[in-house]
Structure 1
């Protein structure tokens, strides 16, 4: 398997997901801007998403995927299918209980994330939380399906799945919002309905893909079925690994919760400002960090099972080189070209010039820490593939505390932008710490030529960034909003030239890109 082609296939679908996500957010921004009602929606949507990242895509995937890959490599498909059935049964019962409790506890959950809201905004957030909480059930089962499909090297469906959520929310904004307005219902509630429809569609998409590889889980609906699943040794092992993994992932999610709390006290629109900046930051982290992490994790687990430590180190080294090659220019773009990006994507309707300025500052904060945010996605699987959940957990706790130190120092000075900057700076420390541990254990042994490689990437990124900075300053991107197509064309042209400059400089400096892209396992 060509690693870059596998990662590229994920990135292509992820790019489609992120493009539709940006369209979704552009529609939302035009309709609701950075208003208090939009703050309420984002907090309500963040609650199931936090749990999804904490349990489904976080602790569960980190414990499940390495065990699944190792079981298939060592024992074959039949024992692997038995493991899938047992895990799915336990998960389904746990999700039913979780969703019921979440609906009841919605007021407490909203208060934990945004105690600074006024009563009307709080009430709206509570109601939408109750509407959307079952989304965590859909997405947890999607996470299980994605782990199975990725282990079978079927990357396309998991990568495409998020597109359905975006399309559902876009449709809700276009069609349901006017319906809700005519009936006297708060229009933003239409977005909550779109989220639930999207969750069901995402889950339904997994069924035919799992059937094609004969891995559709058989869920035990009776008490005896649950007891049998609970007794499966793989379930016991996953639960044992999930404890430290939950703690490790929860520190990152706790940082997000604290940031939401702080933002809720910074005035109406602060939460939404941070969310829109998140969207631009998540584009490169998903295209690069998530894509390469998804491809590398099963391969690292397989190398671990075979005790192939040279292969293990080589996989990590390749992943880290790809991160530097592709994430550093993205970081430069977010740092110097933030305002053109934000203005072109969001500046229309209720999203005014002030919102552009505030969101641009937050995007720049993420740009400073983008290498760290992406690097963690590559370094952490180096531990998870070896079933080492405790080391990332310990590092994560320290980094969470460091994030709050940054917040205390920077928020009074920079406002909402400081929340993005603190996360980026702390992620950089996190990535460096994880890499130091991998190097110290000799799990990652840098191959020859790293310094020359890094200098070439730095030179190309600097020249590219300088060109983008000139374009950002020479054009009034907010005023150009009177001519939408002209603004979009100018941004596309600037980015296109920047990409050409970047790769031209790399080529002229002697970098052999083909060798890097042809890595196989």
Structure 2
């Protein structure tokens, strides 16, 4: 389901690239979508889920259906009220938010600069995209409940509806508007409604669709919000870093910087979402059950399994993203308003992001190791350290390298975060990578290096700039096929077998 969602997400981005390219209007839409998307990561997929799932697992272990129904009703009522007020606030104060996160555009607006119109457009577009936070937060709540019940497919498929909504609005509503970018904003709005509506029948079948209640002082709700407040920073550091990147990018002279960062981030999100987030979604309920059952051996086995899977998929994915960044962008996005220069410029930031892919994926499994134990303070402490370091990296690298420096700073801060999380797990005795897992990961690294060498040598024989689209597709398929073949063969030669991955314990 996650694969289907990510593939359709790429189709959506192809439509957007063809529709807007990497110009000023594209920069504004990505800006207006990033702020509510950031809040979605906090309320829906990030801090809320990390705090809610362990407590829900604890309540579920009591085998008291009435208590669980009451808990879900109070959480949905409390969360719903908070995000509703947040959405109203965002709509009313959209100019303030546009000024806060788009400082460069706001300064131009005050001084009648060339990017003044960007600020005006961003302010009005935020009024359309901001209500998305209400619908998607409740959809995230429903998805978290279903995941705890081991019904993962529904929540994993739900983002498909957002992608379809944006595509339909771009193709059919866009030509009717004076500013086509507004069509994409409306696609986000309707996509939020569709995602929530799609999941409610499944919640009803599970017997947990209850009338929302205000439950701020309920003991279990109190536990969730107590865990969630520090997790707002800890789990969403990468999103905060991306917002900081966007803010700094509004000050850069190059029009298209935000768009180039967006398109490269979208390609990074494909393996990150398909592998990292999908595995994290599965691992959190399992680790929570292990902790409640006081089964440290199963807890360690689960983390070892996740570590192996992340490295098996993340290391070769990172190598491939860095080596074929430009060909990927050319084949996927270069058409319509998206030019060859846009593909080349975005490839530089994709290579920088790609260097941190493994770290981003590891964070997705290391942070749940703390959250499953209802420890949100440790990740938030390291999250704050990482965020401060990212700001310093931005200031140091943005001056000589521009938007590429921003992407590189994000990768460096992500790597620092992963290292700090693992060191803490190791030092406190919660988790230590087994020798078997270490040997496994070294073998994966060697296989990935051989794969990368083969891709590099073949790529050097082809001239991408002058090739036709069909020729580029053939060559990209050849690169991917060669890489997969060499990687799979190398894994067998270094001794990795399927049985090495069959150690995951779900209970």
> When the two structures are superposed, what TM-score results if normalisation uses the length of structure 2?
0.95
- Unaligned residue ranges in structure 1 (runs of 5+): 1-12, 221-225
| Aligned twin of 1:153 | 150
1:429 and 2:416 matched: yes
Number of matched pairs: 496
Alignment of 1:382-421 (within 5 A): 382-421=369-408
| Aligned twin of 1:364 | 351
Alignment of 1:107-186 (within 5 A): 107-117=95-105, 118-180=115-177, 185-186=178-179
Contact 2:235–2:367 under 8 Å retained in 1:
no
1:350 to 337, 353, 370: 337
1:255 and 2:241 matched: yes
**More displaced, 187-196 or 240-249?**
240-249
Contact 1:347–1:478 under 8 Å retained in 2:
no
1:58 to 30, 46, 54: 46
| Aligned twin of 2:435 | 448
Find the aligned partners of 2:147 and 2:476 in 1 and give their Cα distance: 35
Q: Secondary structure at the match of 1:348?
A: coil
1:379 and 2:366 matched: yes
1:298 and 2:285 matched: yes
Find the aligned partners of 2:104 and 2:294 in 1 and give their Cα distance: 52
For residues 284-308 of structure 1, what are the alpha-carbon distances to aligned partners after superposition, in whole Å with 9 as ceiling and x for unaligned? 1111110111101001011111111
Contact 2:35–2:243 under 8 Å retained in 1:
no
The 3 A distance-change label for structure 1 pair 252 and 339 is closer
For residues 173-201 of structure 1, what are the alpha-carbon distances to aligned partners after superposition, in whole Å with 9 as ceiling and x for unaligned? 11111122xxxx21111111111111111
For residues 362-418 of structure 1, what are the alpha-carbon distances to aligned partners after superposition, in whole Å with 9 as ceiling and x for unaligned? 110011111101000010000000111110011011111111222222222222111
Q: Secondary structure at the match of 1:449?
A: helix
Report the RMSD for the aligned CA atoms in angstroms: 1.4
**More displaced, 297-306 or 454-463?**
454-463
Find the aligned partners of 1:412 and 1:339 in 2 and give their Cα distance: 23
Find the aligned partners of 1:451 and 1:515 in 2 and give their Cα distance: 12
Q: Secondary structure at the match of 1:479?
A: coil
| Aligned twin of 1:4 | none
| Aligned twin of 2:194 | 201
Find the aligned partners of 2:402 and 2:83 in 1 and give their Cα distance: 38
1:23 to 11, 32, 35: 11
TM superposition shift of 1:518: 5.8
Find the aligned partners of 1:175 and 1:278 in 2 and give their Cα distance: 26
TM superposition shift of 1:269: 0.7
| Aligned twin of 1:215 | 208
1:502 to 481, 487, 496: 487
| Aligned twin of 1:90 | 78
Contact 1:339–1:472 under 8 Å retained in 2:
no
Q: Secondary structure at the match of 2:337?
A: coil
> When the two structures are superposed, what TM-score results if normalisation uses the length of structure 1?
0.92
Contact 1:260–1:271 under 8 Å retained in 2:
yes
Find the aligned partners of 1:273 and 1:140 in 2 and give their Cα distance: 28
Find the aligned partners of 1:468 and 1:18 in 2 and give their Cα distance: 24
Q: Secondary structure at the match of 1:478?
A: coil
Q: Secondary structure at the match of 1:79?
A: helix
Contact 1:303–1:309 under 8 Å retained in 2:
yes
| Aligned twin of 1:485 | 470
For residues 291-345 of structure 1, what are the alpha-carbon distances to aligned partners after superposition, in whole Å with 9 as ceiling and x for unaligned? 1111010010111111111111111111111111110000100111111111111
TM superposition shift of 1:473: 2.5
The 3 A distance-change label for structure 1 pair 279 and 387 is same
TM superposition shift of 1:96: 2.1
TM superposition shift of 1:250: 5.3
Q: Secondary structure at the match of 1:474?
A: coil
Q: Secondary structure at the match of 1:201?
A: helix
| Aligned twin of 2:226 | 240
Find the aligned partners of 2:380 and 2:226 in 1 and give their Cα distance: 14
| Aligned twin of 2:109 | none
Find the aligned partners of 2:302 and 2:17 in 1 and give their Cα distance: 41
Contact 1:399–1:427 under 8 Å retained in 2:
yes
| Aligned twin of 2:110 | none
